[in-house]
Amino acid sequence: MTSPPYRGGPGRARPGRGGPARGRPPRARTGPRNTARDAAERAAGPATFGRDMSDAAPWEQDAAPRRAPAKPSAKSPAKPRSEKPRADARPAARTAPRAPTRSAPEDRPSGRPRRDERPADAEAPPRAPAAPRPPTRRALREATAEALATGVQTLEVTPDEAGMRIDRFLSARFPQLPFTRIQSLVRKGELRVNGKRAKAADRVEPGASVRVPPLSLEARPPAPGSARAEGDLAFLRSLILYEDQDMMVLNKPFGLAVQGGSGTTRHVDGLLEAMRDKDGQKPRLVHRLDKDTAGCLIVAKTRLAAATLAKTFRSRAARKIYWALAAGVPKVRQGRISTYLAKEEIGDADARMRVAKHGDEGASHALTYYAVVDQAGQKLAWLSLKPVTGRTHQLRAHAAHIGHPLVGDPKYFDIENWELPGGLQNRLHLLARRIVIPHPRTAKPIDVTAPLPPHMAQSWNLLGFDAARYDPIVEAPEA
């Protein structure tokens, strides 16, 4: 006969090694009973009445059944439990020492009452202000972004920004600002590093001061499928003069900027967000027109087309013809204007070109052919202009240079005491009339013509000019 397996536990003796019989728990010790306590237990009705469980085996304590205390009988009222300790009672478990009782207010050196003795309406003693934490880089960027539209701002380069390109530095400081806008600021010379004009490849040094012109953050592009996106798409569709799978030509209206700038929230580049395709490709600009210049604007629909068209513009293979209304009539009916142009320092937010000399800082060669198509007496002349180069404000600066600034030009019109004829609007009369450019994929010439904008059409009607008249500029020599 085999012995039953040993199931050990607290208080059990291993069979064959002394102690009580195998498998049996030790018998509880007996001793004198406290009758007063027994009566209290009988009245309370504990599950262990009649037995002292304090020295019982632990498994018996855990396994002892629990039942609700019995209600005291009216015949035998419950007696209070005796406070006298039993002789055979086990010592109580050790507990952590209690914290010393606080002294009374009059006994404390400071005389301050305890928290629980203070009146309910008493004010808490003032705490010393915490030392301000240094601003994090994120907080610095957010604070800088909030100050974009407040005016000219001077930024100091921190040690961890040392060696960054100026455009990357601004992109890190102004993450909400489009990178194309930052590149435009650098290209126009509107940034100053330690008082000098910055170039895109310049790198900043610790402690350098960067002067930034007034800016304004552009609104986020509309969500695809939203009412605003659908409105922008419909507006762009109404401007298309030519379109295929690689490119399109828009009839940019007067007053609509091509790219964002100071205080500009609506522009062609932002509207093109509504024309993203299923792959997320957004049409790309390949050249620019001034905000107040209307007419043909080419947009590439693919990355390859954008690179090809940009190369075409750089190589001057694109032929562009502009129409303008000038003050006075040039004595030479057809001519050539060749100068050097440089940016004039008249302020960060008001760029203006001036005629410079060869070798001047920032001076670039500019070449324009012009012809007089028609005239209204000696007061006004309809000019056809063909720019060979593509400098900023080239046609406007060249027209002013020969003494015949364009009507409605707020920057270059400098004739004193000149009055605008009645019925003509004081708006810039300049139109990108026609563009001929090789197709980016087939190399076949694309020839597109834009109509007169409303204010120029009104002037042509008042002056009796025929928009269908022969344009002699098409016979101008090629560059």
Environment class of residue 233 by beta-carbon count within 10 Å: exposed (0-12), middle (13-18) or buried (19+)?
A: middle
Helices in 83-165 by DSSP H: which ranges? 137-146
Which of 167, 232, 246, 290 is the catalytic position?
A: 290
How far apart CA 459 and CA 408 sit, in angstroms, is 12
Copy the structure tokens of residue 245.
């799978």
* Residue whose entry in the numeric block shows the structure tokens 């960054």: 164
How far apart CA 41 and CA 47 sit, in angstroms, is 9
Identify whether the C-beta of residue 166 lies closer than 8 Å to the C-beta of residue 204: yes
How far apart CA 400 and CA 52 sit, in angstroms, is 116
Identify whether the C-beta of residue 330 lies closer than 8 Å to the C-beta of residue 337: no
Copy the structure tokens of residue 335.
């001519």
Name, in order, each residue with C-beta under 8 angstroms of 408's C-beta and a sequence gap of 6 or more.
Answer: 292, 425, 426, 427, 428, 429
| 88 noted as active-site residue | no
How far apart CA 69 and CA 47 sit, in angstroms, is 9
Name, in order, each residue with C-beta under 8 angstroms of 81's C-beta and a sequence gap of 6 or more.
Answer: 36, 37, 40
How far apart CA 467 and CA 451 sit, in angstroms, is 9
Task: Find residue 37's DSSP bridge partners.
Answer: none
**3-state SS, residue 372:** strand
Name, in order, each residue with C-beta under 8 angstroms of 385's C-beta and a sequence gap of 6 or more.
Answer: 321, 322, 323, 324, 368, 369, 370, 395, 398, 399, 473
How far apart CA 35 and CA 43 sit, in angstroms, is 12
How far apart CA 449 and CA 474 sit, in angstroms, is 13
Give the pairing of strands 364-376 and 334-344.
antiparallel
Could you please report the per-residue DSSP string of 154-210? EEE--GGGTT-BHHHHHHHH-TTS-HHHHHHHHHTT--EETTEE--TT-B--TT-EE
How far apart CA 196 and CA 15 sit, in angstroms, is 98
Q: Which residues are catalytically annotated?
A: 290
